[in-house]
Chain A
Amino acid sequence: MTYVEWLRVGRCLKCTAWVLGVLLLLTVVAEYTVLNLGSHSSLSEVELHTSSGDISAAQVFKGGTPVHSTLPDGTARTTIVNATEGVRVTIDDHGYWGKHIEIFERSVSRPSKLIGFGPLTFQRVAVPGGSKVAVDTNKPEDFAYYAAIATFLALIVATVLGAPFARQNDGHLEIALTNPAPRTTLGLGAMIADVTGIAAAWLMTVAALFIAHVVQYAPNYTYGTRDTEVIALGFAGLLAWYAMLCAATASMRRAYGVVLGISWPVASLVAVLAKANFGDSPMAQLVRWGVTPLSWIDPFNYLHFGPAFTVNGAPAGSLAVSLQRELPALLILALVYVALAIVQWRRVEA
C-alpha cells in the first residue's frame, strides 16, 4: 500500500510540475509584456490624483515627454513630465537589479490603498507640494511571500492526495489487508508518503517562483524569524488539512470525491463566517452558534496568507497571534485527525 501511495504521489507531483511549468511560462511571458514595469500600460493599476481627476499613471505617461539620461553609476533614467496634469515620473532602470519608479503628483485628496505582492512594492509618501508614489520592482522581499504561495498550492495537492484510505477501500482493500504489516503501519506509511509529496509540491512551488523571479530580476531576498514562523504555520496547516480529509474519508468507499470536492468551499465558508461580524441580530447569533464550533476544527480558520502581501509597503498580516494560538491548534488538529483516520480505517472490512 505504501508503494502504491508513493506511485500515486509521484503521479500527482508530475501533474503539479506540469501545472507549475505552464504557470512559469505564462509568468515569464507576462513579466516581459504586461508586467514590464516602466512601460505605459504596466502602471495602469497605479491611480493618480490629477487636475483631470483620478486617472491611471499609464494615461499620464501618454501625455508626457520622456527624457533619457544615464546616471554616474550607469543607471538609465527616464523622466516624464506632464505639466498639464502636474505629474512627474522618474524611472531608474537598474537592469537585472530591477526598477525604481517615482511618480510625483501635486495633490492627494484621498490616498488610495496600494497593494504590493512579493518583490513588487508600492509606497505613497507625502512630499512638499504633493505626494510621491514609489514603485520598486525588485525590493528585498521576505521568504514568507514564497512560503505563503507555496502553502496555497500545496493545500491543493493535499486535497488531491487527501483520501488514501478511501482509495484503498474502493476495491483494493484485499491488497492492503493481506499484507504482512499491521494496518496502523500501513496507514501511517501511506500518510507519510502523501505528506512527503505535499512537502515536495511546496518546494517545487518555491523553486518555480524563484525561477520566475530570476528570469527577469536578480535574487533579492531576506530571511528572518518571521519567515520561519510563516513556514511553520503553513506546514502545520497543510498537515491538519490533509489529516482532516483523511479522517473524513477513511471509512468511505466511493463518495470520497464529493468530500474532497466540497471541502474547500465548506471550510472556507466556515472560516469566513466565523470571523465575520454580523451584529447581534437573532439570525447572526444563530449563524455564530452554528459556525463557531465548526471553526474550531477547521484548519482554514487558522490559516491566512497576509504575509504574502504588503499594503502601502508594510506586511498585510501579523503572525504574533498565529504562533501563540494557531500553530499549536493546527498541530493538535493534525494529530487528532491522524488518529481518527487510523482508528476508522482499522475497522473497515473488505
Chain B
Amino acid sequence: MSSIQISNLRKTYGQFAAVDGFSLEIPAGSVFGLLGPNGAGKTTVFKCMLGLARATGGSVLYDGKPLVPETFESIAYVPERSVLYEWMTVAEHVEMNRRAFKAFDPARALELLAQFNIQPAKRSRALSKGMRTAVMVALAFARNAPILVLDEPTSGLDPINQRHVLSLIINEAARGNSVLFSSHQIGQVERAAERIAVMDRGRLVLEGLVDDLKSDRKIVEGIFPNVTYTLNGIANDPRVLRADRSERIVRLLVRSDADNIATMLSSAGATGVRVVDLNLEDIFLFAVSPADATADVIAKGSS
C-alpha cells in the first residue's frame, strides 16, 4: 500500500507554465482518474511525478519519501505513446522487464499478452498502435507494483480490450494497489475510478470522490417564456456554482439544496423547472469549459 503526495508542483517551459501549483494526494489503494482537456498538463504531471521531467517547483512524495531510482521497483508506468523498441520482439521486452524489476512476473506478462491476443515472437514494428498499448499495459500489470501510473492506457484499443484494461485496473485496486490513470474516455474513468481530479491549463480545478461529486452537484434547468428575463439574484446564491443561459433556457449548476433553487427559479418565472442528476461528463465539462458551446455564462452578480 503506497500513497502519493504531490505538493504545489510546477513545471514551466520558458514563460509557459505547463503545470502550475498542482497539489494532490492519492491515498493508498485507490483508483484515481486524472481528467483534463488536451494540453491541460496531465502528462507533464506524470512526467514530473516520475522524474522524467525536472519539476520547476514543488515536491512529490511516495509514502512520505522523495523519488529515488529504487522507488521504481514500486511504480509501474505506461506512457501515453509507445516507447517499445521497434526492432525488438515482444518476448524480448518481457525479458527486459524481468531483468530490470525484481517483482516482475514473466508468466503473468505472457498470460496478459495472450489475453490481448498478442504473440510474443512478434516484433514491435509489426504491432498496431492498440497492440503496442496492450503490450505496455501487460508489462506494467505484470510488474506487481503497488503503484500504477497509466497515461491513457486504453489509447488505440478496441472496446473489448478497453474493457479488459478497466477490469485490470479495478482488480489492482481490489488487491490494494494504487492506480493513477488519465483518459479522455470519461465513461471509462467513471466506471473504474473512485476519485477524480480535473486539470485545466496546468491547474487542478476539481478533485474528489466520484460519488460525492455526483451526489453533491445537480443541474437545475428551466425555460423562460421570453428571451429577456432576470434571475432575481439566483446566480449570486452561494449554492449556485455556475449559471449558463442559452436563449430562453437557463441551466444552474448547484452544489446543494437543488429543490430550493428550483423553487426560486420557478418564482422568477421559469416554467418546466427540473432537477437533473449529473454524470461525470457534466462535472468535467462544467469544470473545464467556461460555458458549453451554445450558452452564455451569466456573470455572477450581473443577474
Contact = CB atoms under 8 A, between A and B. Distances in A.
A180 B69 contact: yes
Contacts of B99: 3
B71 interface: yes
A182 B69 contact: yes
A173 B101 CA distance: 17
B208 interface: no
B92 A179 contact: no
A36 to B, nearest CB: 43
Contact of B54 (A7, A175, A349): A349
A174 B52 contact: yes
A177 interface: yes
Contacts of A173: 52, 83
B229 interface: no
Contacts of B100: 3, 179-181
A62 interface: no
Nearest to A347: B54
Interface stretch (B72-80, B107-115, B167-175): B72-80
Contacts of A192: none
Contacts of A174: 52, 77, 79, 83
A4 interface: yes
A172 interface: yes
Given A7-B88, A172-B83, A177 B50 contact: yes
Contact of B52 (A171, A180, A182, A350): A350
Contact of B92 (A7, A171, A182, A183): A7
A177 B88 contact: no
A256 to B, nearest CB: 16
A104 to B, nearest CB: 61
A180 B85 contact: no
B75 A349 contact: no
B152 to A, nearest CB: 13
A178 interface: yes
B73 to A, nearest CB: 5
A34 B81 CA distance: 56
Nearest to B75: A178
Interface in A55-79: none
A177 B83 contact: no
Contacts of A350: 47, 52-53
Interface residues of B, number: 26
| Residue among A3, A173, A182 with most chain B CB within 10 A | A3
| Residue among A3, A174, A178 with most chain B CB within 10 A | A178
Given A3-B95, A4-B96, A178 B77 contact: yes
Interface string A161-193: 000000000011111011111110000000000
| Residue among A173, A179, A180, A183 with most chain B CB within 10 A | A180
B85 A178 contact: no
Interface in A130-181: 171-175, 177-181
B70 interface: yes
B268 to A, nearest CB: 54
A180 B95 CA distance: 16
Contacts of A179: 69, 72, 100
A30 B47 CA distance: 59
Contacts of B79: 174
B83 A349 contact: no
A349 B96 contact: no
Nearest to A172: B83
Contacts of B85: 4, 172
Contact of B50 (A11, A178, A183): A178
Contacts of A182: 69
Interface in A309-350: 349-350
A4 B88 contact: yes
A221 to B, nearest CB: 39
Contacts of A183: 69
Contacts of A11: 87
B225 interface: no
Contacts of B96: 3-4, 175
B236 to A, nearest CB: 46
B290 interface: no
Interface string B53-69: 11000000000000001
B39 interface: no
Contacts of A181: 69, 100
A180 B73 contact: yes
Contacts of A7: 88, 92
A180 B70 contact: yes
Contacts of A4: 85, 88, 96
| Residue among A172, A175, A183 with most chain B CB within 10 A | A175
A182 B71 CA distance: 11
A159 B70 CA distance: 33
11 contacts: A3-B95, A7-B92, A11-B87, A174-B52, A174-B83, A177-B50, A180-B69, A180-B71, A180-B101, A349-B47, A350-B53
Interface of A: 3-4, 7, 11, 171-175, 177-183, 349-350
Given A3-B99, A349-B52, 15 more contacts: A7-B88, A171-B83, A172-B85, A174-B77, A174-B79, A177-B50, A177-B51, A177-B52, A178-B50, A178-B72, A178-B75, A179-B69, A180-B101, A182-B69, A350-B47
